[in-house]
């Protein structure tokens, strides 16, 4: 099966933290037997989409693919330049929720063969079902990258106090939907905890940051999928998350975690045992394995086969 993946969600030297989850899925698919995967990436920016469409049309004129798969709604419009194959688009959340981009993404969903939001909750909220084919295709957590590490050594590598108390906000505070204000409020109420975040952090430091924390705070207003909670679980680090994205399923019944609407006093009570423990851990890795990238890549392959078969 020959597949073309089109995206601008891809790490670059200038923006190394962008799209690592897409790269993880592409790597997993590339290793699958019987898949010949071609990758087309292009820069971000409003003018890049039309240029990408022209380049796709020029480069792949006369080429045959079994499936064309775009990541991110606007990328799906560019990918339409490649004809003669069924089109799938993975919608990651912001592309559906953004006030300007969202309407274009929802319009595209009605034109392509397979709209594929990354979670069922995203589908319910932003892509009302019209009776056509649909799949939920998240990228999944990279358990090769994220796993338990010695907490003191992780802190030392980051230049943190090995005996300190730290909380992690697993996002850039500049992203308003992630609600840094909630995490800051909780850290201030805790009194003795410093709040870390991902702003300016290199991707290779992220596993150490997670393992350095007493707990990870996923305070988001909305999530397309929610890899932050899964990556914390993969490291056996306690996580408190709002009930959005995959968190209600991933954290259900898991001791030492909390999944609930943000309420400072309730969250603070759940957080206290982790602040008072020198090395707090939860049995999270086995749960995270249920949402692992290779498992989800198999779901993507099944969707590809269904699409290619329907097109014959």
Q: pLDDT digits over 124-151, tens only?
A: 888 866 667 789 999 999 999 999 999 9
pTM, whole model, 2 decimals? 0.93
Q: Please, what is the end-to-end C-alpha distance for the chain in angstroms?
A: 13
pLDDT at 207 over 80: yes
Token match 């589908």: residue? 123
Pairing label, strands 194-197, 215-218:
unpaired
* pLDDT tens-digit series, residues 44-103: 999 999 999 999 999 999 899 999 999 999 999 999 999 999 999 999 999 998 999 999
The architecture (CATH level 2) of 151-289 comes to 3-Layer(aba) Sandwich (3.40)
151-289 shares the fold of 2-140+292-311: yes
**The CATH number of domain 2-140+292-311, selected from 3.40.50.2020, 3.40.50.2000, 1.10.580.10, 3.30.70.890:** 3.40.50.2000
All structural domains of the chain with their residue ranges: 2-140+292-311, 151-289
**pLDDT value of residue 312:** 64
* pLDDT tens-digit series, residues 211-264: 999 999 999 999 999 999 999 999 999 999 999 999 999 999 999 999 999 999
Query: In terms of Cα–Cα distance, which of 104, 134, 99 is closest to 119?
Result: 134
**pLDDT value of residue 192:** 84
Pairing label, strands 67-71, 87-91:
parallel
């Amino acid at each position: 099966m020959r597949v073309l993946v089109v995206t601008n969600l891809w790490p670059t030297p200038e923006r190394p933290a962008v799209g690592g989850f897409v790269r993880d899925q592409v790597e997993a698919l590339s290793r699958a037997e019987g898949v010949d995967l071609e990758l087309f990436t292009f820069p971000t920016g409003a003018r890049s989409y039309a240029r990408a469409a022209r380049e796709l049309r020029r480069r792949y004129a006369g080429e045959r693919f079994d499936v064309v798969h775009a990541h991110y709604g606007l990328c799906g419009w560019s990918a339409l330049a490649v004809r003669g194959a069924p089109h799938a688009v993975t919608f990651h959340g912001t592309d559906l929720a953004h006030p300007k981009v969202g309407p274009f993404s929802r319009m595209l969903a009605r034109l392509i063969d397979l709209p594929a939001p990354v979670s069922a909750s995203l589908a319910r909220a932003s892509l009302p079902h019209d009776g056509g084919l649909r799949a939920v295709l998240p990228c999944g957590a990279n358990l090769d990258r994220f796993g338990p590490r010695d907490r003191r050594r992780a802190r030392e590598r980051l230049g943190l106090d090995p005996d300190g108390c730290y909380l992690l906000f697993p996002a850039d505070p500049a992203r308003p939907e992630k609600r840094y204000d909630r995490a800051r409020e909780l850290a201030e109420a805790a009194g003795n905890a410093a709040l870390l975040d991902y702003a300016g952090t290199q991707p290779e430091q992220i596993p150490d940051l997670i393992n350095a924390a007493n707990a990870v705070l996923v305070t988001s207003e909305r999530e397309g999928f929610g890899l932050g909670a899964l990556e914390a679980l993969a490291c056996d680090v306690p996580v408190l998350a709002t009930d959005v994205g995959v968190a209600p399923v991933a954290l259900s019944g898991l001791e030492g975690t909390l999944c609930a609407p943000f309420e400072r006093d309730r969250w603070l009570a759940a957080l206290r045992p982790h602040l008072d423990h020198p090395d707090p851990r939860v049995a999270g890795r086995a749960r995270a394995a249920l949402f692992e990238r290779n498992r989800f890549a198999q779901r993507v392959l099944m969707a590809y086969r269904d699409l290619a078969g329907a097109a014959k």
